[in-house]
Structure 1
Amino acid sequence: MNDVIALSEDQRDALQELMNISMGQAANSLAHLIETKIGISIPNITAVTPTGLYELVSHNQQSYYTRQSFMGDIHGEVMSILTQSGLEEVAELLEYEQPLSDNDIKETILELSNILAGACLAGLSEQLELATNLQMPTLFAPQKSDFSQYDWQHSLVMEVKFDIQVSSFTMRVVFCLDDASLTKLKSTIDELLG
């Protein structure tokens, strides 16, 4: 594993706490919008190669996938994995008429990804006083994507899972940062830790 990837225990704890706050804000944003309770997992922070990243995001065939790049003081990509199960109930909470058309399904997926990933990134950026700009999400199929084309050979992955409790719907948000952004992130966390 690349030395750049290695986080000290203090850095990892701080990053996990910052992610926890950001993810909580994201869950609250969506919960307020759909007026229902949302559970979140403890953020999982791991380092992976492009192959490991592919395995992480592509293990569930019954899912929809989106990706969004972000730029600024740190840059990388956010991938969201949304279960097909329970999506209709969530779309109904977002006031889409039933039955859902293919276009409604696509809009629901992109809207959920943008709300949660956007709020997560905004929360993290704000806490670390980093400027970031998140692009709009696009649908993608991991099976048809070449993960080896990424700019990084190792990436720090910060992952959290959201559960919408009135349905069987779950969504995972995976942040991927390259080496240069990791170096910046680590120095910013060190400043924060003083």
Structure 2
Amino acid sequence: MNDAIAFTEDQRDALQELMNISMGQAANSLAHLIETKIGISIPNITAVTPEQLFEMVRHNQEAHYTRQSFMGDIHGEVMSILSQSGLAEVAELMEYEQPLSDADIKETILELCNILAGACLSGLSEQLELTTNLQMPTLFQPEKHDFNQLGWQHSLVMEVKFDIQISSFTMRVVFCLDDASLHKLTSTIDELLG
């Protein structure tokens, strides 16, 4: 963690547990849809600069990328990184006809992001009694964007990885919060911790 964003150990543990519950709900939502088991990683919580965020997000060349902004009591952006590998099998489980057209691939990517990011954000918001509104996802290419224009100099990144066990497909969901939202988040967690 960098100096601009400092958590106490209790705050960090609480946030990690809240994220764990939210990500579990998201995995269950998708698992019910595709009727298969989904594994999730322990949430990784770090603070990064825009340059570090870019490096973190773009390291996988064989991937599809989406971004969605959210507003409300806290605001920021959700970025999702979906592996190209295994996407066709997941689309088939979602009842898309094979072979996939370009439109089907795009629709599958956006639907997966909406399910997982939506369930994650809604789970976190409900637990913290915060109001948030998630926008629809859009595809993007990290190398064509200037991450310094994202509106934050220090981001809290909460990242989790989903693995669909019957295919090679993986998806990482990265939540980015700006400083004002981070202060709101930590004060809400402090109230929760009492």
Q: Aligned partners of 1:15, 1:52: CA distance in 2, in Å?
A: 21
Tell me how far 1:181 sits from its aligned partner: 0.1
Specify the alignment match of 1:77 in structure 2.
77
Q: Aligned partners of 1:176, 1:18: CA distance in 2, in Å?
A: 16
Please state whether the residue corresponding to 2:24 is helix, strand or coil.
helix
Tell me how far 1:2 sits from its aligned partner: 4.2
Following TM superposition, the consecutive aligned residue runs of length 4 or more in structure 1 with deviations greater than 4 angstroms are none
Tell me how far 1:63 sits from its aligned partner: 0.1
Aligned positions, number = 193
Specify the alignment match of 2:23 in structure 1.
23
Amino acid at match of 1:129: E
Gaps of 5+ in 2: none
Within a 5 Å distance, the mapping from 1:166-185 to structure 2 comes to: 166-185=166-185
Amino acid at match of 2:62: Q
Specify the alignment match of 1:140 in structure 2.
140
Within a 5 Å distance, the mapping from 1:83-162 to structure 2 comes to: 83-162=83-162
Gaps of 5+ in 1: none
Identity %: 85
Please state whether the residue corresponding to 1:176 is helix, strand or coil.
strand
Specify the alignment match of 2:32 in structure 1.
32
Does residue 47 of the first structure (1) align with residue 9 of the second (2)? no
TM-score, structure 1 as length reference: 0.99
Specify the alignment match of 1:8 in structure 2.
8
Q: Aligned partners of 2:58, 2:8: CA distance in 1, in Å?
A: 29
Specify the alignment match of 1:193 in structure 2.
193
Q: Aligned partners of 2:166, 2:34: CA distance in 1, in Å?
A: 11
TM-score, structure 2 as length reference: 0.99
Tell me how far 1:150 sits from its aligned partner: 1.4
Q: CA RMSD for the aligned pairs?
A: 0.5
